[in-house]
Amino acid sequence: MSTSHQDVSFQTFDGVTLKGWFFQASAEKSPCIIMTHGITALKEHFLDNFALEFQKAGFSVLVFDNRGFGESGGRRYDADPVKFQDDYIEAFDYAASLPQVDSERIVFWGTSYSGGVAITAAAIDRRVKAVIAQVPFVSGELLVGTGQPFLDMVQQDRAKIRSGEEWPLTRVVASTLDEAEAGTAAVMLRDTASFRFFQDAAAQGGNWENKLTTMSLFRLLRFEPIRYIHRIAPTPLLMVVGEKDDSLLSLQLQAFGLAQGPKQLHLLKGCGHFDQYRGDIFKENIAVQIAFLKNYV
């Protein structure tokens, strides 16, 4: 873990404390990139790899845990994309208040689920200078359809909550490699690539737990960044996608086609949904992102 950052926290409009790291660039007034991770993942899960490279390139970086996860406050294990959008805007306000940050040059960066949140937040907040959406989630409808079998279970869980019971939880990934390889576990992400990513990510630190409220999945069905993406313009957009991100690539390309310019698409060859954080694919990925930032920010 780098010592090139300081621990920070800021309050949201509804009183939740969000905690994260601030990586200060050498310049007194530098542009700033606001980053948070995908669903249930934490700031410790390889985001410092990006932040350090951005910092070297002259960008300050604010990385924070989503509400409900990691060190941030809020209802535990509950992912609400509308509140997450608000939190990007809260993070913008906090970053803009820092004397080290040029408030006219703040960027939203998101990956996977938070890639979709960054899209929707930037469509709403016109102050943002640029957006980077990495392997973004773009549509609940296109990914899972009506989700009717799941909705039947959700209604039962909502009844439990109304009666005063604890919010029901589900697992994000399988608990063992054997279970992941079988592909039949009642989890959000059944594949072995997801299992291996979270296993490796948890080893990086942080207090990750394999838990997510079923209400989070209920909201995922209704989360539609693809319906917002055209509204980002004229803010520049970079979308980075993986060639082997089988379940999402075609949806991401469809969303990118709806975006207005200026926009840039980069396809990472041989990259699945979780391969862009490390190794040679990371090196290619970060180089493309820095070049985009240098050009537009």
pLDDT over 60 at 148, yes or no: yes
Residue 2 — pLDDT band, cuts 50, 70, 90?
Answer: very low
Alpha carbons 61 and 109: distance in angstroms, whole number: 10
Percent of the chain's residues with pLDDT above 70:
97
The answer to whether 85 touches 55, Cβ cutoff 8 Å, is no
pLDDT above 80: residue 1:
no
Across the chain, what does the average pLDDT equal?
Answer: 94
Looking at the DSSP bridge assignments, the partners of residue 64 are 20
Which amino acid appears at position 90 of this protein? E
- Domain regions of the chain by residue span: 6-141+222-296
Strand 169-173 vs strand 212-213: parallel, antiparallel, or unpaired?
A: antiparallel
pLDDT (0 to 100) of residue 247: 87
State the pLDDT at residue 100: 94
Q: In 3D, which of 256, 33, 226, 230 has the Cα closest to residue 129?
A: 33
Question: Among the listed ranges 9-18, 114-123, 147-156, which one has the minimum average pLDDT value?
Answer: 147-156
> Which pLDDT score, from 0 to 100, does residue 99 have?
95
Q: Is the pLDDT score of 65 beyond 50?
A: yes
pLDDT tens digit sequence for 73-86: 999 999 999 999 99
Fold for domain 6-141+222-296?
Answer: Rossmann fold (3.40.50)
Range scoring the smallest mean pLDDT among 93-102, 151-160, 203-212: 151-160
Which has more confidence, 150 or 85? 85
- Residue 146, pLDDT score: 64
Average pLDDT over residues 16-21: 98
Cα gap 135→112, rounded to integer Å:
5
| Per-residue confidence band for 147, with pLDDT thresholds at 50, 70 and 90 | low
Helix (H) or strand (E) holding 296: helix 279-296
pLDDT at 27: 75
Q: What is the pLDDT of residues 238-286, one digit of tens each?
A: 999 999 999 899 999 999 999 998 999 999 999 999 999 999 999 999 9
Type of residue found at 61: V
Q: What is the pLDDT of residues 26-42, one digit of tens each?
A: 878 999 999 999 999 99
| DSSP code string of 174-241 | -SSHHHHHHT--SEEE-SHHHHHHHHHHHTTSS---S-EEHHHHHHHTT--GGGTGGGSTTS-EEEEE
Q: Would you state the pLDDT for residue 184?
A: 85
233 burial type by CB count under 10 A (0-12 exposed, 13-18 middle, 19+ buried): middle
| Rounded Cα gap, residues 30 and 32, in angstroms | 6
How much is the pLDDT for 3? 58
Residue 88 has pLDDT above 80, yes or no: yes
Q: What is the pLDDT of residue 4?
A: 87
Q: Please say if the pLDDT value at position 123 is more than 90.
A: yes
DSSP, collapsed to helix, strand or coil, labels residue 247 as coil
